[in-house]
Structure 1
Amino acid sequence: MSGSSLRAYLPLLFTTVLAAGSLHADSTEAASLLNQGRVDEAATILQKSLATQPHDAAAHALLCRAYYAQDMANAAVPECERAASDNPSNSNYQLWLGRAYGLKASQANMISAFSIAKKVAAAFERAVALDPNNVAAMSDLGQFYVNAPSIVGGGLDKAQALAPRLLARSPVKGHRLLAQIAQKKNDAATAEAEFKNAIAAGKSPEAWIDLAIFYQHHAQTDQTVAAIQSSIDANRTKNAALYDAASILIEMHRQPELAERCLRDYLASSAKTDDAPAFKARMLLGDLLKQRGNMQAAQNEYAAALALASKYSPALKATQGA
């Protein structure tokens, strides 16, 4: 994802867990493929499984995620709705339903987006009510409260009230929410301090990325690059934070060699997830190689992306424009 999409209305960067309960063998295999970015294969398995077990909530949820990863909101929403309907007590299904609605809202016109945004709020709030310890749901809900207008259920007062509960369960996410609240209030000093508190609480590569985005927003280039380097140094598993590091560097037109190394390390790692799908990493790498004049290598990456996700629109356009 680009730096701008990291700051989008509803973020794509979250580490989540699969739904509670055991998965069927097909769903387990599909989940593994989804983490590897092999969404075509995952979707095929899930669709075949659902043909014989149409009320398999876990399969619907995974299929929703496969579509979501490809930014296909109209396909993702019905699958998440089915998962939530077939298992209404599952917090994670409500969480993903809220995310799918959020994606749909981001692609809709303003009038439609307002009505859809209310569904986002309801789903996230339901997810938290079902499981008050669901940190991912609380984090998503908090960010929704910060960014959405009160007319659709947002509000800084709601975010502020949620922050202590999130802090108690995840100091990293809690301080991140406090930083976002401060940013919304144009209190840069407090925001920076809270992002640093999040780093101190967990020393995670993701927390360093949040600080890098903050510095990027304030045009503090040297600090941005330094925070990115700290994220890379902290990223022992080579997870999706490498993708975000590369995205920021590419957007800033800084250190292309480092950006390329981040993407290649991520693609070679066993820590890939659908938070940063492999086909999107391939596309980003292709764009970087294209910028550097290596057209054949760029087309190879675009083709590799299309092989993983044949319906992903940017990959189709990139390969057809060869």
Structure 2
Amino acid sequence: MLFVLLSGIRLSAEGTQANTLLQQGRVDEARHVLQQSLSAQPGDAESHQLLCRVYYAQEIADAAIRECELSASIDPGNSNTQMWLGRAYGMKASRANPLIAFSFARKVRAAFERAVQLDPTNVQAMSDLGEYYVQAPAIVGGGLDKARDLASRMEPRFPSQAHRLRALIANESKDPATAEAEFQKAVQAGRMPEAYIDLGHFYQSRHQPEKAIEALLAGVEADHRKDATLVDAASILTTMNRSPQLAEDLLRQYLASSAKSDGAPAFKVHIQLGDLLSRHGDAAGARREYAAAASLARSYAPARKAMQGS
């Protein structure tokens, strides 16, 4: 949630403006505002963190790392900055050769652990760290025992997220029955939209489309804010080749919503919608969506590529 993303940050007027632009997916404008602010106040940690997120949204890993490292050096006690730094390192690691990825993986873990240490109530950082422990090999600090310990620490305050982490652990352990039960407990713990989406994604991965759709529809119904849950649901429907009109409607609802965020950048959603329209023969509609994406994020390579191919 936006409140969580901004906790620990006191936004200046420029920061407030830039963050609003970022949440709307207007990353070119956000970058311009932040670069102007930093030219006057180069030591502004808040602006560096927001600029990190602007680059992260566009998948420009090196620039995101640079800005988050600058922010962390200026304000080393900010949990959210450490979380975003860990995410930027993770993006770099996911695209690097094995040797470089190995060194960045250690940085990912260190940043996420530092984020949790600085703020034990930062549930997003805890969830990121838990996913790292589940997915990463022991040689770079991963491990299911670490994930289990973290889930136990999360449970008193964040039961839904703790059950989600246990579901991921069970899934990694090739125990689908326990994974399903834990995803269902995550839903029951808070009836949060994202918990339904996680359950739907699990069923999709198990090739149970009817159960997946049931969970996705429940998540959409629970999502009164019309936030990134809609995009996640549309993505899973598209992966399953089910209900294309519903997927299109969900993407359009999100783009019209006031609850857009950099969790699902609008320019990426325009491309996603364009791809869906193109797949179903609406070339003109697809071009409009690709043009909308390019107008928001000129530096985003997939937007340029989509425009050239449309």
- Cα distance, 1:16 vs structure 2: 3.9
Return the alpha-carbon distance in structure 2 between the equivalents of residues 58 and 21 of structure 1. Answer: 7
- Residue in 2 aligned with 1:162? 150
Deviations 1:138-177 (A, max 9, x none): 1111110000001111000100111111112211111100
- Residue in 1 aligned with 2:265? 277
Match of 2:93 among 88, 105, 124: 105
- Residue in 2 aligned with 1:7? none
Question: Quick check: 1:241 aligned with 2:229?
Answer: yes
Q: Give the 3-state SS of the residue equivalent to 2:156 in structure 1.
A: helix
- Residue in 2 aligned with 1:29? 17
**Which amino acid is 1:198 matched to?**
A
- Residue in 1 aligned with 2:120? 132
Residues 73 and 21 of structure 1: is their aligned pair in 2 closer, same or farther, counting only changes over 3 Å?
closer
* Unpaired segments ≥5 residues, structure 2: none
- Residue in 2 aligned with 1:267? 255
Give the TM-score normalised by the residue count of structure 1: 0.94
Q: Are the aligned partners of 1:14 and 1:275 in contact in 2 as well (CA < 8 Å)? A: no
Return the alpha-carbon distance in structure 1 between the equivalents of residues 58 and 250 of structure 2. Answer: 22
Q: Give the 3-state SS of the residue equivalent to 1:17 in structure 2.
A: helix
Give the TM-score normalised by the residue count of structure 2: 0.98
Question: Quick check: 1:317 aligned with 2:305?
Answer: yes
- Residue in 2 aligned with 1:89? 77
Q: How does 1:29-68 map to 2 (within 5 A)?
A: 29-68=17-56
- Percent identical pairs in the alignment equals 57
**Which amino acid is 1:180 matched to?**
L
- Residue in 1 aligned with 2:184? 196
Return the alpha-carbon distance in structure 2 between the equivalents of residues 248 and 188 of structure 1. Answer: 19
**Which amino acid is 2:161 matched to?**
K
Question: Quick check: 1:215 aligned with 2:178?
Answer: no
Number of equivalent positions: 310
Deviations 1:269-303 (A, max 9, x none): 11100000001110000000000100011000000
- Residue in 2 aligned with 1:149? 137
Deviations 1:72-126 (A, max 9, x none): 1111100010111100011111111101100111111111111100000000011
Q: Aligned Cα RMSD in Å? A: 1.2
Residues 21 and 259 of structure 1: is their aligned pair in 2 closer, same or farther, counting only changes over 3 Å?
closer
Q: Are the aligned partners of 1:240 and 1:272 in contact in 2 as well (CA < 8 Å)? A: yes
Q: Are the aligned partners of 2:293 and 2:303 in contact in 1 as well (CA < 8 Å)? A: yes
- Residue in 2 aligned with 1:286? 274
Question: Quick check: 1:253 aligned with 2:222?
Answer: no
Deviations 1:171-229 (A, max 9, x none): 11111001011111111111101101110111111001100111111111111111111
- Residue in 2 aligned with 1:69? 57
Q: Are the aligned partners of 1:102 and 1:120 in contact in 2 as well (CA < 8 Å)? A: yes
- Cα distance, 1:20 vs structure 2: 1.5
Deviations 1:254-282 (A, max 9, x none): 10000001000111111100000001110
- Residue in 1 aligned with 2:68? 80
Q: How does 1:162-181 map to 2 (within 5 A)?
A: 162-181=150-169
Return the alpha-carbon distance in structure 1 between the equivalents of residues 40 and 2 of structure 2. Answer: 31
